[in-house]
Structure 1
Amino acid sequence: MTFKRVWDESCPRIWDQWEADGTKYTIQDLPPEDDEEALKILLEHLAPDEVLCKTLDLVIDPESLQGIGKVWKECLKLRTSLACYIEKDGGRKLVAINVCLVKEKGVEMEFAVEGSRWQSVLEAVKYSERKADPLGYLGLDKALTAMGLVVLREYRGAKLGARVLASREPLCRALGIGGTTTVFSGAASQKLAARCGFHSIFECQIKEFAQAGLDFPKDDERIVKVMVKKYE
């Protein structure tokens, strides 16, 4: 990865803000001081629920859980991740995270992989991206991609995921990036992305990962999609 975010006195920048039912919502850059809290949320709320991780019971493998945590931690340091905060009754709380990073043409995103289950999940993502070639499809030399989007369980249903996905656009425009791409593994997240203007450029059943030699069930017909959105 060669893309470097300029993190200066203008950061963290706010990308969306609104109020509802006495609560103020802010979507902004995740600041460095909240990296540990974000990582805790990812490990406790995303790792157990994300479809590929859940299929392989990643959370019961300490090495894989530690491995995915290390990758998330490195991604957060890139300072391109989005965070949603709520403010109510004088308190402020981090309630959603989208771990974002920049995918560049000709640059392989390399991570130190620990744990066989995490390695299988990551290889499934890479397999999907190779098949889809999102940068080629979009005609871009770089695009914003993601390694997970999670909303705290008690705040799901408030459409925060949609607002976070929509906030990728002003972030991309500020960074000079013309589009975004993500591997969406769950039916709910795929529907959410479609409502937010993403469209699918590659789809496969989870059992295809098993056919490619990865440690996934050979009869799992759930669909994984690579979805993209270009900003004109």
Structure 2
Amino acid sequence: MVWTRPTSVPLPTIWHEFQAPDVGNTDNLVSYRVQDLTPDRYEDMVRHFLNHYLGEEPECVSKGISTDALARQEMTQYWRRCFSRNLTLVCYKEESRQIVGGNILDVRTVQREADVMKVESEKLNGIFISNEFLTDTVDLFGRYGVQEYLTDYGMAVHREYRGKGICREMLRARIPLCKTFGLRLTSTNFTNLGAQAVAAKLGYRCDLEMSYDELAKRGPLFSYPGISAKSTKVMSLVID
């Protein structure tokens, strides 16, 4: 069964508001908001992830996704598919439509077979399969006694806004979102060391840490040659 957003929750909903430094002036605090991505910004968000994620996320860089035409095409198709679930978050600065950050979210259910997207790209399939292996190893449904949970398929912060706590605040926005939809758990496979540290400070528990050397022992699809990260972590936050 594929999770569907209740129509009773307005789209967009503003999930979190905060203040943080402005671009080029660390002494000037401005207001930001984290809200639902709306259909009119889908293609803008695709471009945002192409420019600020695909060539930097450790696993995508290792697999060469940004320079492989098929993998790149299928990845953008996957993003659009996730957008249509009406859970992806966008961060805006006050009185601006520039995308400061984006977080592609979805709800995983026990009956997840219907959620799986088949791809032709062996490189992209390797990323999907290795991440499925990690979450299956943890067994989040059994460990936390849930039938569904909020998961993450990528976060990208605009380069000009990095170092201002945007990642932290976008992670915080998941809490009211989960409470509204009755989701008792959010979990992510964090591949970036900085994001792992931010999540830990917010109370995320490390369910599993696996080095990429260990992961590669499972075969070519699980191999990430020259990857900049030492390990990947499955990290979860229980929503009270």
How do 1:78-93 and structure 2 match up within 5 A? 78-87=85-94, 90-93=95-98
Question: Are 2:198 and 1:186 equivalent residues in the alignment?
Answer: no
**8 Å contact 2:18–2:169 — kept in the other structure?**
no
Look up the SS of the partner of 2:98 in the other structure. strand
Equivalent residue, structure 1, for 2:127 = 121
Tell me the residue number matched to 1:96: 101
Structure number with the bigger relative contact order (C-alpha 8 A, sep ≥ 6) is 2
Q: CA deviation at 1:230?
A: 0.4
Letter in structure 2 aligned against 1:226? V
Aligned to 1:48: 55
Indicate the larger mover: 3-12 or 210-219: 210-219
The equivalent residue for 1:212 is 218
CA contact (8 A) 1:204 1:224 kept: yes
Deviation (angstroms), 1:114: 3.3
> TM-score normalized by structure 2?
0.90
Q: Distance in 2 between matches of 1:56 and 1:83?
A: 26
| CA–CA separation in structure 1 for the residues paired with 2:40 and 2:164 | 26
Query: Which one-letter code corresponds to 1:93 in the other structure?
Result: Q
SS at match of 1:197: coil
- The one-letter code of the counterpart of 1:97 is G
Determine if the alignment matches structure 1 residue 72 to structure 2 residue 57. Answer: no
- Measured in 2, the distance between the counterparts of 1:49 and 1:218 equals 15
- Cα distance in 2 between the residues matched to 1:12 and 1:123: 32
Contact 1:81 1:100 in 2 (8 A): yes
Alpha-carbon separation, structure 2, partners of 1:145 and 1:27: 17
CA distance in 1, matches of 2:58, 2:66: 12
* 2:91–2:100 Cα contact (<8 Å) kept: yes
Aligned counterparts of 1:157 and 1:139: Cα–Cα separation in 2: 36
CA contact (8 A) 1:211 1:218 kept: no
The letter for the 1-side match of 2:99 is L
Q: How does 1:100-179 map to 2 (within 5 A)?
A: 100-108=105-113, 109-179=115-185
Unaligned runs of 5+ in 2: 21-27
Alpha-carbon distance, 1:30 to partner:
1.0
- How many Å separate the matches in 2 of 1:29 and 1:218? 35
Check conservation: 1:27, 1:83, Cα contact below 8 A: yes
- Give per-residue Cα distances to partners, 1:146-195, cap 9 Å, x unaligned: 10011011101010100000110100111111110100012111111101
Tell me if structure 1 keeps the 8 A contact 2:34–2:89. Answer: yes
Deviation of 1:34 (Å): 1.0
Give me the whole-angstrom Cα distance separating, in 2, the residues matched to 1:207 and 1:217: 8
Task: Pick the aligned partner of 1:231 from 212, 219, 239.
Answer: 239
One-letter identity of the residue aligned with 1:163: E
CA shift for structure 1 position 218: 7.0
The answer on whether the counterparts of 2:63 and 2:225 sit within 8 Å (CA) in structure 1 is no
For these two proteins, the number of residue pairs brought into alignment is 230
Q: Percent identity?
A: 27
Q: Contact 1:203 / 1:223 at 8 angstroms: preserved in 2?
A: yes
Distance 1:11 1:116, change over 3 A: same
User: How big is the shift at 1:200?
Assistant: 0.6
CA contact (8 A) 1:86 1:95 kept: yes
Q: How far has the Cα of 1:132 moved from its partner?
A: 1.2
Measured in 1, the distance between the counterparts of 2:188 and 2:236 equals 7
**Equivalent-residue separation in structure 2 for 1:188 and 1:22 (angstroms):** 23
TM-score (norm 1): 0.92
